[in-house]
Structures are given as C-alpha cells and as structure tokens.
C-alpha cells in the first residue's frame, strides 16, 4: 500500500472478507455458547456490512473506482479465507486475530488520510477503529468463557 486509494481498496476487500467469515461463523457455530456467540457474530457482521458501503463511498469521494468482483477482493484482502466448520473457540480466536489485522490496516489508511488532511476520512476511520476495538474486546472476553 503506497497511497490512500490502494489502502482503501485493501480495506474494502478485507472488510468484505471479514464480513463473509463472520457471517459464516454465525451460521455454523455450535456448542454450549451457541446463543451468545450466534448473537455476537450477528452484531459484528451487521456492523461490517454497514461499513462496507461507507468504505466504498469514501473511495468514490476520492474520484476513484472500487474493486467490483470476488477475484479483485481476494487479491486485495488481508483476511484469510475460512475453511470448513470449526469449534466455537477456533471461530472466536480467528475473528479476534482478524480484528487485530483490521485495526492495524485502518491505522495505515488513517495515516494516508491524515497526510492529505482529509478530516472527513479521518473521522470515519477513527469511528471504525473504535468499532473494531470493541469487536476485538468482546471476542477476547468470550475466549475466556470457552476455555
């Protein structure tokens, strides 16, 4: 990532990949903690879905086009693809690590926006950092519950 547009494309694709992964966890989680995890994953994938549109619109506000297909998303995403059905602990652990990746990525996008003095983008990215921090915290708390 050498500029704001490239960083936003990575962010858009990574957000979408995390949305898909989280939604899959929501569908497939089982075990004693099914209900709270099912609900937690739902809250998180709904947040990621809402953010997806805003990320794309931020790219368009910069007069650029977004990636538009799954192959492009796969090329840009920093989030690993899900493979098969996992234990509840493995779902939590993987999503926790993915939110860590997203926080690092958003800080990078923020730095590019800050260098260009784009306050509206910085505000949006700061809000997203707060959301991912909350998601990470909730997942970390659940990791202790399923031990």
Tell me, what's the pLDDT at 27? 96
- 145 pLDDT band (50/70/90 cuts)? low
Per residue in 104-138, pLDDT (tens digit) is: 999 999 999 999 999 999 999 999 999 999 999 99
The answer to whether the beta carbons of residues 44 and 18 sit under 8 Å apart is no
Tell me, what's the pLDDT at 2? 84
Range of the domain at 29: 4-145
| Cα-to-chain-centroid distance, residue 82 | 14
What angle do helix axes 34-61 and 88-115 make, rounded to 10 degrees?
A: 20
Q: How many structural domains is the chain composed of?
A: 1
**CATH number where 92 lies:** 1.20.1260.10
| Distance from C-alpha of 70 to C-alpha of 45, rounded to nearest angstrom | 18
The whole-chain average pLDDT of the chain stands at 95
Query: Is residue 40 pLDDT above 90, yes or no?
Result: yes
């Amino acid at each position: 990532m050498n500029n704001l547009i490239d960083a936003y494309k990575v962010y858009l694709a990574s957000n979408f990949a995390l949305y898909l992964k989280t939604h899959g966890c929501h569908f497939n989680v089982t075990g004693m903690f099914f209900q709270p995890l099912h609900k937690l994953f739902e809250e998180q994938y709904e947040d990621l879905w809402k953010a997806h549109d805003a990320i794309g619109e931020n790219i368009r506000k910069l007069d650029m086009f977004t990636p538009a297909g799954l192959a492009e998303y796969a090329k840009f995403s920093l989030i690993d693809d899900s493979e098969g059905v996992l234990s509840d602990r493995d779902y939590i652990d993987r999503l926790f690590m993915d939110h860590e990746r997203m926080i690092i990525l958003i800080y990078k996008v923020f730095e590019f926006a800050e260098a260009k003095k784009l306050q509206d983008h910085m505000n949006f990215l700061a809000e997203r950092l707060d959301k991912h921090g909350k998601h990470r915290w909730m997942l970390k708390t659940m990791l202790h519950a399923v031990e």
